[in-house]
Amino acid sequence: MKGIVFTEFLGFVAQRYGEDAVDDIIEASALPSGGAYTSVGTYNHAELVTLCDALAQQTGVAVPVLVQAFGFHLSGSFARGYPAFFARCSHLFDFLESIEAHIHKEVQKLYPDAELPTFTVLERTASRLVLDYRSPRQMGDLAVGLIKGSAQHFGIQVRVDPQAHDTADGPMVRFVIDVAGDTSIPV
């Protein structure tokens, strides 16, 4: 996993829980990296899981809730750091559909060793998008937060229903994303 995710996570923890919380979860985690990350480095995703577990123990907040909140935060960081990815789309569903064809191709150019998840769009209507998420890291809760944060960026609210499935190709999460309220997005 790219270091930018780790550096953003530690920034999220500092912003939400304070700098001391960052030190506490690093000390409690016995990480191979020692908790020292650079945004361009590559680290084992298990370290992020360990840090999330330590934060959950420290705060009493469930890991899925923390990971979704971090995904929401990370989406905002991506929108600020990579505005061109967001600016090329006028609607959330267009943006989500562009992940494989555009965003991940650009990320691979910048970070050829990046191991990216895959997103496959199965259905799209004016108010619903269904997509499958596959990743050996199984970070579906992070994806939920990223989707909700991206929705906020595009000025809409969504309900995200993650449905985990075991398939012949391994674990997969199907996201059913519905626009909330009276807002709809042109197909």
Q: State what percent of residues in the chain have pLDDT above 90.
A: 71
* H/E element, 12: helix 3-17
Residue 120 lies in a domain: yes
What is the rounded distance in angstroms from the CA atom of residue 58 to the CA atom of residue 165? 31
Query: Which of 179 and 168 is assigned the larger pLDDT?
Result: 179
Residue 161 lies in a domain: yes
Tokens of 1: 């996993």
Residue 69 lies in a domain: no
Task: State mean pLDDT over 43-71.
Answer: 95
The whole-chain average pLDDT of the chain stands at: 90
**Is the pLDDT reported for residue 174 higher than 60?**
yes
Q: Which residues of 9-48 are buried (b: 16+ CB within 10 A; e: fewer)?
A: bbebbeeebeeebbebbbeebebeeebebeeeeebebebb
Q: State what percent of residues in the chain have pLDDT above 70.
A: 96
CATH code (residue 164): 3.90.1520.10
- The pTM (predicted TM-score) of the whole model is 0.89
Sheet of 128-134, strands arranged across: 118-124, 128-134, 170-179, 158-167
Number of domains in the chain: 2
pLDDT, tens digit, 9 for 90 and up, residues 78-103:
999 889 889 989 999 999 999 988 88
Question: Per-residue confidence at 182, pLDDT binned at 50, 70, 90?
Answer: very low
Residue 83 lies in a domain: no
**Is the pLDDT reported for residue 183 higher than 50?**
no
What's the pLDDT at 56? Answer: 97
Task: State mean pLDDT over 145-174.
Answer: 91
**Is the pLDDT reported for residue 168 higher than 80?**
no
Query: Which domain does 22 fall in, by range?
Result: 3-61
Specify whether the CB–CB gap between 184 and 127 falls below 8 A: yes
